[in-house]
Structure 1
Amino acid sequence: MTKGEETKQFIIEKAAPIFNTKGIAATAMSDIMEATKLSKGSMYVHFENKDVLACAAVDHNMKILGNKLQAEMSKSKTAKGELFAYIDFFSNPVTPPIIGGCPLLNFGTEADDTNPVIKEKINNAIKLNQQLIQTIINRGISNKEFNPDWNYAEFATIMFAMMEGGHLISRMSGNNDKMKIIINSLKAMIEENSI
């Protein structure tokens, strides 16, 4: 990495949790300058405006979240274990795996009417998550872990929506009580479709 690339990456790493916590609209370039201790001129050498930096921060948050999730899921030997690991990874929204909470929920709710570029990034990430769940279940069906008639595409949508909804409820209430109900319900659905 060149010195310029290192500085750009440093800015993204410092900006990502700020954007994820405060939101894009509420984050000012002065917030990023304070976190990085860089001048406005230095910031604009690497990012032409806040929107460009916000897009990079969204990508960074998603990458960090995805890497952490994959690391947890890779510890499982079975498809059912991977599904449970996915669920357990998101089981504590009050103390989330990345600073500020779920970037899909945070950026998605903010960008749906305001930022078509970020909206598309989040939409693609949602599709990828549902495809991941479908792929795991499909592999489990092939390995004879799950019932072959399980509608895994439908379940992937249900599971993803319940997890995101649980995240929202938990963050708003400041406790994970409702998320525990969702987790138990999802795991029971998986058990019902296990062989």
Structure 2
Amino acid sequence: MSKAERTRQFIIEQSAPIFNTKGLAATAMSDVMEVTKMAKGGLYGHFESKEALSHAVVDYNLSKLISKVGQAVGGAHTAKDKLFAFLDVFATPMQFPVEGGCPMLNFGTEADDTNPMIKKKVRETILSAQKRIVGIIEAGIASGELKASFDARTFSIKVMTMVEGGTLIGRVLETNSQMKVIVDMLKKEIEEEIT
């Protein structure tokens, strides 16, 4: 990695939590200058605009979440354990594994009517997560671990909708307790699908 690439990555990593916490519109380049200790000219030498930096930060935060999910699921062996691991990543909205909360929720809510490119990135991440859940369930059905009647697509939609809603409610109410109810309910449903 060249010095310029390292500096660019530093800017993204340092500003990612700010964008994820304050939002795309509310984060100012002065916020980025403060956290990176760089002058405005230095920042614009690496990103032509705040929008360009925003896109890089959204990619970074989404990839960080995808990586956390991948690590958790990758460490599990059975379909049940993989699904449980997936849910556990989202189980504590107040201690979310990406600083500032869930980037799918944060950026998706802000960009749904204002930024088609970021909306597309978030949509692709949600659909990819649903596809991952479907794949785990289908593999579990194929191995005989899960019932053939387990509706993978419906369950994947339910998981994503409930964990994202639970994340919002947990962060607004400043508690993990309601997400615990959701995760426990989804885990119980998985248990009922085991052969």
Q: Which amino acid aligns with 2:38?
A: L
Q: How does 1:170-181 map to 2 (within 5 A)?
A: 170-181=170-181
* Equivalent residue letter for 1:122: V
For residues 5-42 of structure 1, the C-alpha deviation after alignment (integer angstroms, 9 at most, x for no partner) is: 11111101111111001000110000001111111111
Partner of 2:37: 37
**Alignment-derived partner of residue 100 in structure 2:** 100
Post-superposition offset of 1:66: 1.3
Cα distance in 1, alignment partners of residues 75 and 136 from structure 2: 14
Who is 1:134 aligned against?
134
Identity of aligned residues (%): 49
> Which residue of structure 2 lines up, in the alignment, with residue 62 of structure 1?
62
Q: What residue is the counterpart of 1:155 in the other structure?
A: 155
2:12 maps to which residue?
Answer: 12
TM-superposed CA distance for 1:193, in Å, is 1.1
TM-score, normalization: structure 1?
A: 0.98
Query: Would you say 1:48 and 2:48 are equivalent positions?
Result: yes
Offset, 1:142: 0.6
TM-fit CA distance, 1:69:
1.6
For 1:40 and 1:159, locate their aligned partners in 2 and report how far apart those are by CA, in whole Å. Answer: 42
After TM superposition, the runs of 4+ consecutive aligned structure 1 residues lying more than 6 A away are: none
CA distance in 1, matches of 2:69, 2:6: 25
Residue 184 of structure 1 deviates from its aligned partner by: 1.1
TM-score under structure 2 normalisation?
0.98
Cα offset for 1:65? 1.3
Match of 1:2?
A: 2
Q: 1:176: how far off?
A: 1.1
**Does 1:184 find its partner at 2:188?**
no
User: How far apart are residue 64 of structure 1 and its match?
Assistant: 1.2
Letter paired with 2:193:
N
Counterpart secondary structure, 1:94: helix
1:107-158 C-alpha deviation (Å, 9 max, x unpaired): 0000001111100000010100000000000000011111112111011001
Shift, 1:75, TM fit:
1.6
Q: Which residue of 2 aligns with 1:109?
A: 109
Consecutive unaligned residues of structure 1, counting only runs of 5 or more, are: none
For residues 191 and 160 of structure 2, the distance between their equivalents in structure 1, rounded to whole angstroms, comes to 17
| In structure 1, distance between residues paired with 2:2 and 2:187 | 47
Give unmatched runs, 5+ long, in structure 2. none
**C-alpha distance in 1 between matches for 2:87 and 2:110:** 24
| 1:73 correspondence with 2:80 | no
Count matched residues: 195
